[in-house]
């Protein structure tokens, strides 16, 4: 008991010291932009200093208990949209309440995430927060993972002097989550629910309109007070550069726009280059450069240099690099069903060997590297028994063959069964 009293005394001492820091930061904020001054006024209306101190002392008990549990070693900034940086760092704990509280003028309907620009923006946020992997929706404050999407895990984890129960792809505090869950009628903490709540935060900050106007960098700056990994905040934690965020946004946007213009076949494949023109088919033909007859073990789809090349299915990157056999910049994917696909002649590669990709991820940009007559993708498929003509399996292939007339009879005898 004496040890507990001692630790609480230390906490109170830290709080007293923290108040002086708060006052200094408040003075600084009052000399900054009108937007920051408005944020401070909102906080002053919503939070009294006495409540702030009382909440922090109560959370000190949580810290003492947490010190007895296993600590993790990754520190991340808590999400607390209602409080500016000086209030977040007044004490070394998370005591933010009423996250996502609806105002009287706010629309009650959930913000849709079908908008490709909004989805791309959310992807960029997840990248900045370190939660862009497949497991991102399960990641907690320290990098640990929870297993049940039934509700926010509400597990306080500590690293050093910071403790938090932030969780999910967008690192929601439980108090913040509860406000948005009530507002939007969310019944669980599933990926879909997390996306809807995050999209609502973006809507409250006017992000959709900024994206529509092309003010991408400004949009990332606008949400700086919400996510510490964004630019334009003073939380003192590592921030992603605005230029890097814009690049991630544009990459994700290309992916979603391309997917929007293709469909999925009955076998679950999508077109790796939606909108590209079919120029050469699978089979025995005269090679357009070498001028001798040989098997063309894939199809060619032509388009502008830099056209996004998509993963036709999700899987593992088996190979990504330069190929000396004529394919230039090459990507080979191994899919979960054992099939393989090959993507050749790319101008730039976006993946590395050993990386897992999802269907529709941008894995490369179209180019004309290696033995090539112009920008296109050479695409091959092996469904487990050797290379096959991709056209019966891939939707949305349009155009007429312009390179090398295919000999159907020779194709049957010369071009069957070769493994990828």
Q: Tokens representing 117?
A: 């620009």
91 closest CA partner among 125, 55, 127: 55
Q: Which residues pair with 398 in a beta bridge?
A: 277
Q: Is 200 a catalytic residue?
A: no
Nearest to 315 by CA among 274, 360, 283: 360
Asked if 312 contacts 358 with a C-beta cutoff of 8 angstroms, the reply is no
Residue 49 φ/ψ, nearest 5 degrees: -60, -35
249 closest CA partner among 162, 383, 122, 65: 122
The helix-helix angle for 34-46 and 2-30 (nearest 10°) equals 140
Q: Name the burial class of residue 186, with classes exposed (0-12), middle (13-18) and buried (19+) by CB atoms within 10 angstroms of its CB.
A: buried
The residues, any chain, with a CB within 8 Å of residue 286's CB and separated by 6 or more, are 292, 293, 404, 405
Q: To which H or E segment does residue 161 belong?
A: none
Compute the distance between CA of residue 44 and CA of residue 51 in angstroms, rounded to an integer: 11
User: Looking at 129, 200, 251, 380, which residue is catalytic?
Assistant: 129
Report which DSSP code applies to 254: H
What is the enclosing helix (H) or strand (E) of 300?
Answer: strand 299-302
391: tokens are 């056209």
Residue 202: name the closest of 256, 143, 194 by CA: 194
Largest CA distance in the chain: 90
The whole-angstrom separation of Cα 296 and Cα 343 is 14
Query: Known catalytic residues?
Result: 129
């Amino acid at each position: 008991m004496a040890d507990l009293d001692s630790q609480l005394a230390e906490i109170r001492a830290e709080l007293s010291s923290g108040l002086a820091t708060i006052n200094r930061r408040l003075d600084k904020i009052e000399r900054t932009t009108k937007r920051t001054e408005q944020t401070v006024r909102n906080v002053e209306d919503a939070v009294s200093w006495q409540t702030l101190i009382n909440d922090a002392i109560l959370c000190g008990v949580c810290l003492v208990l947490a010190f007895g549990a296993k600590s993790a070693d990754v520190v991340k900034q808590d999400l607390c949209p209602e409080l500016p940086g000086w209030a977040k760092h007044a004490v070394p704990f998370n005591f933010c309440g009423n996250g996502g509280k609806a105002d009287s003028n706010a629309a009650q309907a959930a913000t849709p995430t079908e908008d490709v620009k909004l989805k791309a923006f959310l992807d960029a946020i997840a990248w900045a927060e370190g939660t862009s992997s497949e497991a991102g929706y399960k990641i907690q404050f320290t990098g640990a993972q929870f297993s049940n999407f039934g509700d926010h895990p509400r597990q306080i984890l500590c690293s050093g002097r910071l403790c938090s129960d932030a969780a999910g792809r967008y690192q929601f505090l439980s108090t913040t989550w509860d406000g948005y869950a009530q507002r939007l009628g969310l019944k669980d903490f599933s990926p879909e629910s997390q996306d809807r709540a995050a999209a609502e935060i973006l809507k409250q900050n006017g992000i959709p309109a900024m994206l529509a106007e092309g003010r991408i960098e400004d949009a990332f700056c606008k949400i700086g007070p919400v996510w510490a990994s964004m630019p334009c905040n003073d939380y003192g934690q590592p921030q992603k550069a605005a230029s890097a965020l814009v690049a991630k946004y544009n990459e994700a946007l290309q992916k979603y726009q391309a997917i929007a213009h293709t469909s999925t076949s009955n076998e679950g494949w999508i077109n790796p280059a939606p909108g590209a023109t079919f120029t050469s088919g699978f089979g025995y033909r005269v090679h357009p450069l070498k001028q001798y007859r040989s098997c063309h073990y894939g199809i060619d789809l032509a388009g502008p240099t830099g056209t996004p090349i998509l993963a036709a299915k999700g899987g593992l990157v088996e190979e990504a690099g330069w190929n000396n056999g004529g394919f230039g910049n090459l990507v080979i994917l191994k899919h979960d069903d054992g099939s393989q696909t090959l993507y050749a002649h790319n101008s730039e590669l976006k993946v590395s060997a050993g990386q897992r990709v999802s269907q529709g991820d941008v894995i490369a940009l179209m180019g004309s590297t290696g033995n090539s007559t112009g920008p296109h993708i050479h695409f091959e498929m092996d469904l487990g028994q050797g290379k096959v003509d991709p056209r019966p399996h891939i939707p949305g292939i349009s155009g007429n063959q312009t390179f090398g007339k295919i000999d159907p009879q020779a194709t049957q005898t010369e071009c069957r069964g070769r493994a990828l």
